[in-house]
Amino acid sequence: MPRLPRKPQVELELTDPEPFPAGLHYLPGYFDETAQGALVADVRQLLVEAPLFKQSMPKSGAPLSVRMSNAGDFGWVTDREGGYRYQTVHPVTGKRWPPIPTVFLDLWQGVTSEIEPPNMCLINFYDAGARLGLHQDKGESSLEAPVVSVSLGDEATFSVGGMVRKDPVRRLRLRSGDVVWFGGPSRLIFHGVEGIRPGTSPLLEEHGFAASGRINITLRRIGR
């Protein structure tokens, strides 16, 4: 991948002449307001069965600011004792994760040419102070299959780096209904969320959430 110039504080917009690295796809406004409402309703239902929970870092036990839950055969879990892992049950309720809603499966089908459906779906909830450090989606997830993600609710500053941590980072403002997916040569691209802009979207509160915030849904395949 070509080295990209560092552009601190400058957010990449559609008009930015810098092309995305091969394999990284940004689909702004993929879901309209009606579709976003349907997605949030599905997430809310899902969170009744599998409530958001606090994760913590391996070894240090430092808490993650993003609260999470999962759907599908496997869920991503991390804590001090067990480290990063995929497991079939919710760490608090002990119950299996609920199935991945059909609209998410349709999204995967719609944007990728994968024959196999995703078997894990991570739900991230960002409140005003939440952020997610630069990371690669590794572990036991299949590197052949892409990673597909949807943003709902408040805007976020998404950072995209390169294949090594120290590569320069570009910033992309993700809005409700936007889809980002990466695979092939970008499957292991470093990415993270620097923060959200609280109150920039009424979507979550309109659909029964107590406060505004941002939901990100990530679909992957775990190859076991």
Residue in 218, 219, 220, 221 binding ligand SIN, rule: CB under 6 A: 218
**CB 160, min distance to ligand SIN, A:** 10
Residue in 55, 70, 124, 141 binding ligand SIN, rule: CB under 6 A: 124
Residue in 170, 187, 191, 220 binding ligand SIN, rule: CB under 6 A: 191
**Exposed/middle/buried for residue 94 (C-beta within 10 Å: 0-12, 13-18, 19+):** exposed
Nearer residue to Fe ion within complex by CB, 176 or 218: 218
Nearer residue to Fe ion within complex by CB, 141 or 176: 141
Among the residue ranges 40-48, 86-94, 107-115, 137-145, the one whose residues contact Fe ion (CB under 5 A): 137-145
Type of residue numbered 64: L
**CB 163, min distance to ligand SIN, A:** 16
Q: Where are the beta strands (DSSP E) in the chain?
A: 11-12, 24-27, 67-72, 75-79, 83-87, 120-126, 132-135, 147-153, 155-160, 170-174, 179-182, 191-197, 214-220
Q: List the interface residues with ligand SIN, window 81-100 (CB under 6 A).
A: none
Residue 31: CB atoms within 10 A of its CB come to 20
Query: CA-to-CA distance for 60 and 62, rounded, in angstroms?
Result: 5
Helix (H, G, I), strand (E, B) or coil at 218: strand
Query: CA-to-CA distance for 146 and 110, rounded, in angstroms?
Result: 13
Residue in 73, 79, 137, 154 binding Fe ion, rule: CB under 5 A: 137
Binding residues with ligand SIN: total (CB under 6 A): 9
Nearer residue to ligand SIN within complex by CB, 4 or 147: 147
DSSP structure class, residue 21: P
**CB 156, min distance to ligand SIN, A:** 6
β pairing state of 191-197 and 132-135: antiparallel
124 binds, among ligand SIN, Fe ion, none (CB under 5 to 8 A by kind): ligand SIN
Dihedral (CA of 135, 139, 143, 149) sign: negative
Q: Nearest residue to ligand SIN, using CB?
A: 216
Q: List the interface residues with ligand SIN, window 154-183 (CB under 6 A).
A: 158
Decide if residue 149 touches Fe ion (CB under 5 A): no
Query: CA-to-CA distance for 172 and 185, rounded, in angstroms?
Result: 19
Chain residues binding ligand SIN by CB under 6 A are: 122, 124, 132, 149, 158, 191, 193, 216, 218
Chain residues binding Fe ion by CB under 5 A are: 137
